[in-house]
Chains A and B, each alone.
Chain A
Amino acid sequence: MPIVVQRPRLTIAEKCYFPAIMKGLRITLGHAIRILLRKKKVTMQYPEAKWDDHLPEHYRGAPALVTDEHDRERCVSCQLCEFICPPRAITIIPEEIPAGDEWQKVEKRPKIFDIDMIRCIYCGMCEEVCPEQAIFLRKDYAITGVSREEMVHDKKKLYEIGGRREGLVNKWNELK
C-alpha cells in the first residue's frame, strides 16, 4: 500500500521563505554566540586526545587478513571480496597450495593479496562477503604513507595488522 503523505499547506508568510530564513539565521547565530562565549564543550583535540579506547567492537578501520588457531591463513583466495569491493581496492592472484604442504587439502591460497588503502573506503563489504571469515576490518584508522606504494598493503602487512583469530567457524578441520 502506498502511503500518501499530505504536504502541509503553507501560509503566505511561509511561502516567501523569509521568516524561515530569519529563524534559521537566528538559530545558527545562537550556536555561534554560545561557542564564542565558551558556554559549550566542543570536540576532542585529536592527536593529543584519542577515542582509541572507546572504539566499539564493530568499528570499521583498515581491512586485514587473519590466521586461525593453527596459523593457517584463512583466506582461500575465492576473490569474492575483490568482486564486491566497490572502489576495487583489492587485487588477488591465487595459487595452488603445493603438494606436501601441511594444508594441501585446502588446495588454494592467495599468492598475492593487495589492498590499496588509497582506494579503500572502509565499507566493510569484504568482511561481510567473505565465506571463510578471513578478512576483518580492524581498528586501525590512521593509515598514512608518503608514497603510493606504501599505501598498498600486501599480504604480509595484512596478516601483521590482522593477526590471529580463534574460535571462528572452521570448515577445514578433520570432520569438515
Chain B
Amino acid sequence: MVASKDSGENLVSVQVDDHWISVPRGTRMIEACKQAAAEVPHYCYHPKLTSPGNCRMCLVEMGMPPRPSPGEEPELDADGHAKINWMPRPVIACANTVVDGMGIRTQSLLAKECRQGVMEFLLINHPLDCPICDQAGECTLQEYSVEHGNGQSRFLESKVKKPKNVEIGPRIRLDDERCVLCSRCVRFSKEVVDDDVFGFVDRGSHSVLTVHPDRKLENNYSLNTVDICPVGALTSNDFRFKMRVWFMRETKSLCTGCARGCNTVVGSREGKIYRQSPRENNDVNSAWMCDTGRMEYHQLENPARLTEPMIKRGKKHRTVDWPEAICRAARDLTKFKGEQLAIIASGRMTNEELYLTRTLAESLQPGVVDIVKREGEGDDYLSHCDKNPNVNGARKVLKIRSPGSKLKSIRKRIVEDKIKALLVIGEDLIDCGFTEGELSSLQCLVSSHIIANPTAKMSHVVLPGAGYAEKRGSMINATGRLQRLNKAIDPPGQSREDWEILHELNRAVDGCDGVTELADVFTQMASTLSIFKGLSLSRIGDLGVDVMDTGETVPLLEREARRVSEGLIVG
C-alpha cells in the first residue's frame, strides 16, 4: 500500500474500486483503471488517438478528497488516505486525468446504470445485422451489449434508415446503420495519416459518417480504420464475407513487404489465410500497417505455386521426390569449383536461411555471393523504400557489403563463360535484368522459388520453397530490430520451408551439420555471430529485440512520440 504522502514526485495515489494504486501523474483515468485490472468499456477512446469523449461509454463514478480549510486536518480512512467525497454525477474516464487521492468506481450502481443507458441509446437504431456482419465475433457492441446491455429492446418506433453498403474507397465499404459515431476513423485519418476525408453530417439520430463528396478513402493506410472501428461499420472488401472471425487461428508474425517489418497477426483456417492485420509494437509500427503489406498474403495463393521438386530432362521438367532433387542439386553444384560457381541469395530470406546459405558457401567456395537489391517507393509513415525485409540480416549473416553490386559482374562472367554454375535462392533473375540467353548458357542452374517464374523454368533443378507465412525464422528490420516470423499455414503440396531445403543441401554437400530443428540453426548462428550473442529463437519474443543501431528512425513513431509528449494521446 502506497500512502499518498510518501509517493514519489511523479506518482499519485488513486483508489479504483476500493483498492489504492499509484500511477504516474497525468495518467488518464481509463488507463489507471486498466492497471488496476478494472476494464472500462469504451468506444471512442483509442490510446493512439486524441480523446474527444463523444461516446460516453466510459462513464464512471468519481470522487475527490475534500479541500480542508486552513488549519483543518483532513479526515483519514483506515488506510491513511483522505476520505473521498463521491460526486453525484458520472465523468468520462477516457479524457480525464487522475489527481492525487482521487477515487474511481467502475462497478457502482451509477456506473452500471450509465453504461446500460448508453448501450440502450446505441442500440436504438442499430440494425439486426450480426448474422451478415463481418465484425460479429470481435464486435465491441456485441460484447458490451451482452455485458452491460438490457437484453430487451423498449423501442417501438421505426428505426432510422441510413446508407448501407457504400463504397467509400477501393478497399473499404461503409455501413452507416452500424456506425456508433465514435469518430475513431475520422481521427485516425486526420491525425495519423493526414488524409482528412471523413466527417459527420446531419444531426441527432440522423447523423451519419461520410467521406468528403469529392474524395475517396484511398490512402495506403485506409484499412487500419477497419481495424479500429469498434463495430462493423467499416469493412474490408478483401475480407468481406470470406470467413467468420471465430473460425480463424491467429498467428503472430511479421509483414515482409518492406524493411519496416510491421508486426502482424495472420488469420487462417484449414491451411488458407484470410486476413492479415497489424499487431501493436511501439518500437516498430505502433498499431498500424500499410494496405500493400496487408495484401501481401495473396501472393501465397498464386495458382502458379510450385508444389513439387523438379529436375529438368532435356527440355522438360519432371517431378521427383526430395531426396533425388537434393542429391542431384548437390552433385551438380559440387562439380564446379571456386570462380565457376556463384550464389545469388535474397534479402527476403530469414537469418537462419542466410546462415545455412553461408555454411553452404563455406563448403562450395563459390566465387561470388550476392543478393538482389529491391528498391521501391517509401513514404513518410511506415512504408520503407527498401522492399527487402531482411537486408540487415543479409549484411550481417551473409556479409554482403553492398547488396546487388555484384550482379553485373556475375552476368558478365556468365557471358564470358567463367561462371558455369549458379545457385539462386528465392529470386527471379529474369526480373533482375538477366537474359534467358545468359541463363541457358549455364551448365548448372539450381534454384528455389515459391512460384513457377521464368528462372524456375530455366533451372535444371527446382526446389519449391515456402512463402513468408508458411515458415518460421527471424529477420532484422531497417532500424536493426531482430524479430520473428511464425508459421501460420503449411506450405502447399511437397514444398518445404526453405531452411529445411538448405539444411538438406548442406548435408548432401558436407555431411552432418548438427541441426535437427530451426532453433538449432539460430543457436549455431548465435555462437558464430556476435550480434546474436546470448539470444535464441524463443528469446526473441513476440516483440523482437534491438540488435544493431542503424541510425534510422520511423517518421510515424516520431510524430506519435511528439503527440504523447504534448499530452494529446496516451500512446
Given A175-B158, A176-B127, A176-B159, A108 and B244 contact (CB-CB distance below 8 Å):
no
A149 within 8 A of B: no
B5 within 8 A of A: no
B529 within 8 A of A: no
Q: Smallest CB-CB separation from B244: which chain A residue?
A: A79
Determine how close the nearest CB of chain A comes to the CB of B127; give it in whole angstroms. 7
Inter-chain CA distance A94–B241, complex, in Å, is 6
User: Which residue of the partner chain, among B128, B164, B241, B247, contacts A108 with CB atoms under 8 Å?
Assistant: B241
B131 within 8 A of A: yes
Q: CB within 8 Å of A: which of B363-409?
A: none
User: Is chain B's interface secondary structure helix, strand, loop, or mixed overall?
Assistant: loop
Given A78-B136, A79-B247, A96 and B240 contact (CB-CB distance below 8 Å):
yes
Chain A residues within an 8 Å CB radius of B127: 176
Chain B residues within an 8 Å CB radius of A79: 244, 247
A89 within 8 A of B: no
Size range of the interface on B?
Answer: 10 to 19
Determine how close the nearest CB of chain B comes to the CB of A34; give it in whole angstroms. 55
Chain A residues within an 8 Å CB radius of B161: 176
Inter-chain CA distance A105–B161, complex, in Å, is 12
Q: How many A-B pairs with Cβ below 8 Å? A: 40
A171 within 8 A of B: yes
Chain B 113-146 against A: per-residue CB contact (8 Å), 1 yes, 0 no?
A: 0000000000000011011100010000000000
Cβ-defined contact, A171 with B128, below 8 A:
yes
User: Which residue of the partner chain, among B136, B165, B242, contacts A107 with CB atoms under 8 Å?
Assistant: B165
Cβ-defined contact, A105 with B164, below 8 A:
yes
Cβ-defined contact, A107 with B128, below 8 A:
no
Chain A residues within an 8 Å CB radius of B136: 78
Chain A residues within an 8 Å CB radius of B132: 76-78, 106-108
A80 within 8 A of B: yes
Inter-chain CA distance A79–B130, complex, in Å, is 11
Chain A residues within an 8 Å CB radius of B247: 79, 82-83
Cβ-defined contact, B131 with A132, below 8 A:
yes
Given A95-B241, A105-B164, A176-B159, A78 and B246 contact (CB-CB distance below 8 Å):
no
Given A83-B246, A105-B164, A131 and B241 contact (CB-CB distance below 8 Å):
no
Cβ-defined contact, B241 with A78, below 8 A:
no
A105-B164, A176-B127, A176-B128 given; name 9 further pairs at CB < 8 Å.
A76-B131, A80-B131, A83-B247, A94-B242, A107-B241, A108-B131, A131-B131, A175-B158, A176-B161
* Residues of B near any A CB (own CB < 8 A): 127-128, 130-132, 136, 158-159, 161, 164-165, 240-242, 244, 246-247
* Residues of A near any B CB (own CB < 8 A): 76-80, 82-83, 94-96, 105-108, 131-132, 171, 175-176
- 5 A–B pairs (Cβ distance < 8 Å), ordered by A: A79-B244, A83-B247, A107-B164, A176-B158, A176-B161
